[in-house]
Chains A and B, each alone.
Chain A
Amino acid sequence: MLRDITLGQYYQSDSVIHKLDPRVKLITTMVFIISLFVVDNFIGYLIAALFLTMVIKLSKVPFKFMVKGMKSIMILLMITVVFNLFLTPGEPLISVWKLTITKEGLRTAVLMAVRLTFLIIGSSVMTLTTTPNNLTDGLEKLMKPLKVLHVPVHEVAMMMSIALRFIPILLEETDKIMKAQIARGADFESGNLIKKAKSLVPLLVPLFISAFRRANDLAMAMEARCYRGGDQRTKMKPLQYKKRDVLAYTTVAAYLVVCIVVGRILPGMFSA
């Protein structure tokens, strides 16, 4: 039942995207998100859609996995759309009772929906094609310059990778404890809100205990292997840019330029 959560889940496959350096993927995701906010016309989004489709096709991850991740933000998306639809002032299109849908409102609502959808799908492509370890490795390397400002980069990266590593473990544990309590007649579904919240006690108490136990064990194991943080620590597989990474960077740069030209400069030229 809890296996449906895709956010932060890795999909095993053997594609070009999977093999890319995590730094490339991180920067690409960032550029992609920026591009979504740079463009605000439909041609721009068409280009973004094409780019996204290309990446998804290359990644060999089934499309339904991306859609699964969408379910979690459906409510947020709905609220955004509804608010934009009714509350944007402008030229009225349809008017029902006190609610007015304006032309501008419709436009912003659709653009917002597309923007959010692309944003989520774009970032889930990254997490689906990059193992958590790789991802934190990339982050650590990207954030290295911050060390000058005494930011504990390695520690932050380590904390992140541990946190990410624990998500599937704790999900599995939750599933197990839930089943064990259901086997003892527990009911997690029916009843009102208070009853439901109360029914979570038999789940949460064992879950917290197990999380602390695991954290304790892990700390002990790390200490036993003389873990001392990031100083002078070398990597077994240091990140190194390859030819395909350079190619990917070029593609991304080209994409960003096209986006800026189509999304910002071209419309300006036409209106001028």
Chain B
Amino acid sequence: MSIILNHVNYIYDGDTEIPVKALDNVSLTINDGEFIGLIGHTGSGKSTLVQHLNGLMKPTSGGVYYNGADIHDEDYDLKTLRSKVGLVFQYPEHQLFEVDVFSDVCFGPKNLGLPKKEVELRAFEALRLVGFPEEYFYQSPFELSGGQKRRVAIAGVLAMKPDVLILDEPTAGLDPKGRDEILDQIQKLREETNMTVVLVSHSMEDVAKYVGRIIVMNHGKVMFDDTPKKVFKHYKELEEVGLAAPQVTYIMHALKEHGFAVDTDATTIAEAKEEILRYFNLTK
């Protein structure tokens, strides 16, 4: 069970004077159960990349394979693929349209042609998974707060019970509290369902705490693809392409430069604390 991208190229507006190469020879394997952070600044091709994963966009050249089958084969069932590879777009609350929250979440499973009971069961479960309070189930989605709307929209995709969940900038436009809540919820959800999760973001800080693998995109190319610790070692190169490593990485490096022999691998505040304490206990 995996998604494989094999030498994928995608060119925007191929017939104007200024064609843009949004994806440049991207080869990737997304394995089952991974938690991946896909990072790049605006226009690096990350949104284009995720739209290839569920067949919304077709590569100009190269192939996309889900569980070994080419998704652009003529008789491949894209509808099923899209229920298996759930994609939550940026600002997903803009896609809400139903009269109440519950019916909106029902939209996805209903499109799969499931019986009514199953549809409602899945909607209920999805809303529970994103931590949406039950007393608002029958409220209009347009009366909710930004963070709640987003939860509903994510539930709308979750209700199709995907094996892979891709979230395109799920925290964009939320305040720090809303951001942490959503990210924690995603983390919890992953633990409960054991889904493969791809988190698209332009902020290292956001993803460093959660993911096990980071893919850095730059100008349509994969720049780094490794564990957070190894990717953050290249913090100077990341800076050159307009990204930054988490602040703790900078602190650890600064400490080392000033003669404290700490290990600079720490990527989260908790790890950094442990490492600094270890060092001071050692030198006492």
The answer to whether A binds B is yes
- Cβ-defined contact, B95 with A11, below 8 A: no
- Cβ-defined contact, B94 with A187, below 8 A: no
Residues from chain A with a CB closer than 8 A to the CB of B79 are 185, 187
- Cβ-defined contact, A181 with B95, below 8 A: yes
Give the distance to chain A from B18, nearest Cβ to Cβ, in Å. Answer: 7
CA distance A176 to B87 in the complex (A): 12
Residues from chain A with a CB closer than 8 A to the CB of B186 are none
Is the C-beta of A62 less than 8 angstroms from some C-beta in chain B?
A: yes
- Cβ-defined contact, A177 with B94, below 8 A: yes
Residues from chain A with a CB closer than 8 A to the CB of B86 are 183
Residues from chain A with a CB closer than 8 A to the CB of B13 are 3
The answer to whether A210 and B94 touch (CB under 8 A), given A13-B17, A202-B107, is yes
Q: Which of the residues A3, A11, A62, A176 comes within 8 Å of B89, measured between beta carbons?
A: A176
Residue of B nearest to A60 (CB): B17
Residue of B nearest to A202 (CB): B97
- Cβ-defined contact, B82 with A183, below 8 A: yes
Give the distance to chain B from A8, nearest Cβ to Cβ, in Å. Answer: 16
Q: Which of the residues B17, B54, B96, B160 comes within 8 Å of A12, measured between beta carbons?
A: B17
Contact count A vs B, C-beta below 8 Å: 65
| Size category of the binding interface on chain A | 20 to 34
Residue of A nearest to B86 (CB): A183
Bitwise, A184-199 to B at CB < 8 A (1) or not (0) is 1111000000000000
Residues from chain A with a CB closer than 8 A to the CB of B88 are 183
The answer to whether A184 and B160 touch (CB under 8 A), given A12-B17, A64-B15, is yes
- Cβ-defined contact, B92 with A180, below 8 A: yes
Q: Which of the residues A11, A179, A185, A206 comes within 8 Å of B96, measured between beta carbons?
A: A206
- Cβ-defined contact, B111 with A185, below 8 A: yes
The answer to whether A184 and B18 touch (CB under 8 A), given A177-B94, A205-B97, is no
CA distance A3 to B20 in the complex (A): 15
Bitwise, A154-190 to B at CB < 8 A (1) or not (0) is 0000000000000000000000110111111111000
Give the distance to chain B from A70, nearest Cβ to Cβ, in Å. Answer: 16
Contacting residues of chain B (149-195) with chain A, CB-CB under 8 angstroms: 156-157, 160
Residue of A nearest to B160 (CB): A185
Residue of B nearest to A210 (CB): B94
Residues from chain A with a CB closer than 8 A to the CB of B87 are 183
Is the C-beta of A75 less than 8 angstroms from some C-beta in chain B?
A: no
- Cβ-defined contact, B94 with A183, below 8 A: no
CA distance A182 to B86 in the complex (A): 10
- Cβ-defined contact, A182 with B18, below 8 A: no
Is the C-beta of A201 less than 8 angstroms from some C-beta in chain B?
A: yes
Is the C-beta of B16 less than 8 angstroms from some C-beta in chain A?
A: yes
- Cβ-defined contact, B95 with A206, below 8 A: yes
Contacting residues of chain A (42-89) with chain B, CB-CB under 8 angstroms: 62, 64
Give the distance to chain A from B166, nearest Cβ to Cβ, in Å. Answer: 9
Is the C-beta of B112 less than 8 angstroms from some C-beta in chain A?
A: yes
Residue of A nearest to B91 (CB): A176
Is the C-beta of A148 less than 8 angstroms from some C-beta in chain B?
A: no
Residues from chain A with a CB closer than 8 A to the CB of B227 are none
Residues from chain B with a CB closer than 8 A to the CB of A181 are 95, 107
- Cβ-defined contact, A209 with B142, below 8 A: yes
Bitwise, A242-260 to B at CB < 8 A (1) or not (0) is 0000000000000000000
Q: Which of the residues B97, B110, B112 comes within 8 Å of A206, measured between beta carbons?
A: B97
Q: Which of A11, A179, A180, A209 has the most CB of B within 10 A?
A: A180
CA distance A185 to B122 in the complex (A): 15
Give the distance to chain B from A190, nearest Cβ to Cβ, in Å. Answer: 10
Give the distance to chain A from B109, nearest Cβ to Cβ, in Å. Answer: 8
Residues from chain B with a CB closer than 8 A to the CB of A187 are 79, 111
Residues from chain B with a CB closer than 8 A to the CB of A202 are 95, 97, 107
Which residue numbers of A lie inside 8 Å of B, CB to CB?
3, 11-13, 62, 64, 176-177, 179-187, 201-202, 205-206, 209-210
Given contacts A183-B88, A184-B156, A185-B109, 16 further A-B contacts (CB under 8 A): A12-B17, A176-B94, A179-B51, A180-B95, A182-B82, A183-B89, A184-B107, A184-B111, A184-B157, A185-B112, A186-B107, A202-B95, A202-B107, A206-B96, A206-B97, A210-B94
Which residue numbers of B lie inside 8 Å of A, CB to CB?
13, 15-18, 51, 54, 56, 79, 82-83, 86-89, 92, 94-97, 107-112, 142, 156-157, 160
A and B contact pairs by CB, cutoff 8 A, 28 listed: A3-B13, A11-B16, A12-B18, A176-B89, A176-B94, A177-B94, A180-B92, A181-B95, A183-B56, A183-B87, A183-B157, A184-B95, A184-B107, A184-B108, A184-B111, A184-B157, A185-B109, A185-B111, A185-B160, A186-B107, A187-B111, A201-B97, A202-B97, A202-B107, A205-B97, A206-B97, A209-B94, A210-B94
